[in-house]
Amino acid sequence: CHLGMSVFFAIYCRFQEENEIKIIREICLYILWNILKYPKHIKYRQIHKQALYSYLFQKCHILGADFEKIFIDMEELLQYYGFKKENDDNWYYHIQLLHLWECYRSMIYLQPMYFYVFILLLLIKQMI
């Protein structure tokens, strides 16, 4: 989770914001925040495949998004964040929280509000 890569991704996504990106961002922020907020609660370190599947399916149906693409992207992001898929097909997180904090910060910068502030700061810096 590198800030520079996150900013580049944010610039790219702002111009092509789609429902898929919104869904992924929302779910990632929800998962990461709950683990960071409740680090000792085991339930937030486990993601049941069926629950994730059902939630994504419902969101995609409502917004008309590509469910299969989002489900695959979401599983790749879970792996990137450090979750491990075990024999029961559920996801578990067992590593340190500092990595998750960096991932959370990167995801936050993908929020439209932060993107526009970043662009404004870049413009101000160029004028100075």
pLDDT digits 0-9 by tens, 23-48: 888 888 888 888 888 777 666 678 88
Percent of the chain with pLDDT over 90: 7
Question: By three-state DSSP, how is residue 24 classified?
Answer: helix
Helix (H) or strand (E) holding 22, with range, is helix 19-37
Residues 78, 28: contact at Cβ < 8 Å? no
Least confident of 25-34, 69-78, 81-90, 102-111: 102-111
pLDDT at 54 over 90: yes
> Per the structure block, which two tokens stand in for 6?
């996150």
Show the domains of the chain with their CATH numbers.
Answer: 3-127 (1.20.58)
Alpha-carbon distance values, 102 to 31, 36, 47, 60 (Å): 14, 11, 20, 27
User: pLDDT class for 58, splitting at 50, 70, 90?
Assistant: very high
Amino acid at 4: G
